[in-house]
Amino acid sequence: MRSVIWSFVQSLRASAAYPPGYLHIRSVAFNLLLFVVAGLLLSTVCADAAPLATATQGDMKLRILTNGHFVLTYKDMPILRDGSFYLAAADWSLLHPIAGQHVLKATVTQGPDARLVRLAAAENDICANTQIFQITTDSLAYDIEYEVKSDTAARFAVVDIFLNRNIVSGATFQGEAGPTADGARPASGALVVAKTGAIIPELRKVTLTTRIGEITLSVTSQVLEPLTDRNYWTLRNICDRPWGAEELRTFTVLHQMDSAPASGLKCRLSFSLRIQPAADLDTRIVVSGMEKGLRALRGNETAEALLSTLPTAPTARAKALQTTLEEACRQWQGEQTLSRSPTQPVIIPQPQQMDLGKGDFVVKPGVPILVPPNLSAREQTGVDTLVEELKDRFGIAASIRTATAPAQSAGAIVLGEPSRNPVAAAWLKRRRWRLRFQASALPAPPGRPVAPTPRAPASSTDTASTAPGTR
C-alpha cells in the first residue's frame, strides 16, 4: 500500500508548478478516486474459493476460505501461505472436504486479548472435525480434533501448513524432535530449498531466525484411536508439486496419518506460531518495497547492479535507496516523455491502457482522505505518508476519515478495496466498472491489466506488495 501511495505522490510532485495550497490533477474521470488494494494476493492451493472468515488482531490477520484452507499474514506479509486439513483416498484423490458436499461453518468471537475462530464440518459420512484458531497480535494457536469414520475410502489424513519460502528460506533453526517430550533430541541447521524430504522428523518445536525476526513453531499430537504415542509431525522440504505454472519449492509442517484403519481414526493435534519481530522490521519492509520499485523501474539486471553498491544496514540502505529511486524516477520520466503525449499523466508504473476524462481535480486544504475501517499498522503508515507528503510538499493539510457513506466521496481521495470501503464500492457501481483479481503464487508482471473491461480505470501493478491496484 505504501508503494502505491508513493507512486501517487510522484504524480503529485509533477504538479508542483501550481501555487502552494492548491494542487491540480488532470482527472481520469469527473472526480479523482484513488483505489489502493491493501490486501495481498494470498497464494493458496485453492485460491478460487471464497472467503469464509477473517480475523485480525493488531498486525496479524487470518483468512479462512470456504474449502477450509487458511492463510496467515503479519504486517501484510504472508507467513503461512496455505494451511489445510483433508482426507484422501489411496490414489490421493480428495475425499474431504469437497465443495458442495461438505459444508464448513465458521464462528468468530472476540476475547480479551485474542480473536477466536471455530471451524466445524457439518454432519457427513466420512469425517467429523472441529478446528479452533486463536490469533493474538504476535501469535496463532491452531487446534484440530478429527474423527475418520469407519468403513470409508480414506487412507490418508493430512494437516499440511506451507511456510512462505521468501521469508524462511536460508533461516537458521534450533529445535527439538522426538516421540515424547522426555525423549526429545536437539535439532539445528538451516532451511535450504532442496529435494523433497524431511528436515526435522518427529518435530516438537523449532525457532527459525529469519530476515524479519524469530518465528517459533510448536506442535503436539495425540492419536486417540488406535492409541499410540508416535509423533507424526515433520518439517520438510517440498519440491515436487505444481503451484500455478511453476514447480513448488518451499517448506511445510506436515502431520500425515497413513492407512487409516477400517475401524476409523481419531486424532487431536495442535500447531502454534509466535513471531518475535526484528527491532527494525518496519525499516526492512520499506527497504524491500523500495527495492522492488527499483526493479520495476530499471529492470532486474540494472537494479541488482545498483543495489549491490548500497549499504546493507537497513536504515542506511533505506536512505541510499531513496536517492537511487528518485534518480531512477527522473530517468524513467525522461524516457516516458518521448513516448507520452503532453496531456498524459505521470503514473508509475505506466498503465498499459487508460481513458482520460474531462476536467481537473483540485486538491484543496482540508481534502478528506476516506479509508476503510480497522486499518492495519502498515496501511496506517501508508495513509500517514500521503498526509505528510501533501503537507510537506504542497502545504495542504488533509483529514483522514473512515468511509461510511457514498455521499462522502465528493472532492475526496478514496483509499481501499471495494469490499472494505463502501465509497469505493458505490463509485465503481455508479460508473459500471468491474475489477477482476486473479491470485497467483508469483508477483504479477508490471503493467498486467487487472480491469480489462471497456472504460476500465487506469491500472498497474504495485510491485512492492504484489497487489494489483488502480489509480
> What digits encode the pLDDT tens for the residues 287-329?
888 888 888 888 889 999 999 999 989 999 989 998 898 888 8
Q: DSSP readout, 137-155?
A: SSEEEEEEEEEEPSS-S--
Q: Is 71 within the bounds of a domain?
A: yes
Asked whether residue 299 falls in the same domain as residue 210, the answer is no
Cβ neighbours, 10 Å, residue 163: 27
**157-182 confidence digits (pLDDT tens):** 999 999 998 899 999 999 999 987 77
Domain ends where: 341, 361, 382? Answer: 341
- State the residue for C-alpha cell 500425515: 256
Which has the minimum average pLDDT: 22-36, 351-365, 386-400? 22-36
pLDDT on residue 289? 82
Has residue 41 been placed in a domain?
A: no
Q: What is the pLDDT of residues 219-266, one digit of tens each?
A: 999 888 777 777 889 999 987 665 554 567 889 999 998 876 777 889
Helix boundaries (H) for 113-161: none
Between 468 and 440, residue with greater pLDDT: 440
- Contacting residues for 296 by C-beta, under 8 A, at least 6 apart: 348, 349, 446, 461, 463
Q: What is d(CA 84, CA 102) in angstroms, rounded to the nearest whole number?
A: 14
Report yes or no on 449 lying in a domain.
yes
pLDDT class of 71 with cuts at 50, 70, 90: very high
Give CA–CA dist 43/69, Å, rounded: 11
CB burial class (10 A; 0-12, 13-18, 19+) of residue 149?
A: middle
Does residue 284 lie in a domain region?
A: yes
| Dihedral, CA of residue 380, residue 381, residue 387 and residue 388, to nearest 10 | 160
Mean pLDDT across the stretch 144-149?
93
d(CA 236, CA 198): 4
What range defines the domain where residue 150 resides?
51-277
Mean pLDDT value across the chain: 76
Query: Is 40 part of any domain?
Result: no
Cα(288)–Cα(284) distance, integer angstroms: 6
Using the predicted structure, report yes or no on whether residue 19 has a pLDDT greater than 80: no
Q: Specify whether 217 is located in the same domain as 240.
A: yes
Task: Write the DSSP assignment of 176-189 as a string of letters.
Answer: EESSSSTT-EEEEE
* 459 plus 364 within the same structural domain: yes
Neighbours of 344 (CB within 10 A): 15
**Together in a domain, 232 and 336:** no
In a domain, 405, yes or no: yes
What is the structure's pLDDT at 252?
Answer: 93
Do the bridges between strand 70-74 and strand 60-65 make them parallel or antiparallel, or are there none, so unpaired?
Answer: antiparallel
Are residue 429 and residue 337 in the same domain, yes or no? no
Split into its structural domains, the chain has a count of: 3
- Considering the domain architecture, whether residues 259 and 249 belong to the same structural domain is answered as yes
105 strand-pairing partners:
120
Q: Of 34, 26, 28, whose CA–CA distance to 356 is shortest?
A: 28
Are 116 and 261 in the same domain? yes
Do 99 and 220 belong together in one domain?
yes
Q: Which of 317, 341, 365 is the last residue before a domain boundary?
A: 341
Q: What is the pTM of this model?
A: 0.65
219 and 351 share a domain? Answer: no
| Judgement on whether residues 17 and 61 belong to the same structural domain of the protein | no
CATH number of the domain that residue 255 is part of: 2.70.98.10
On whether residue 148 sits in a domain, the answer given is yes
Does residue 46 sit within a domain? no
**Domain's final residue, options 310, 341, 372:** 341
Range in 17-21, 210-214, 224-228, 356-360 with the lowest mean pLDDT:
17-21
Query: Are 310 and 353 contained in the same domain?
Result: no
205 and 118 both lie in a single domain:
yes
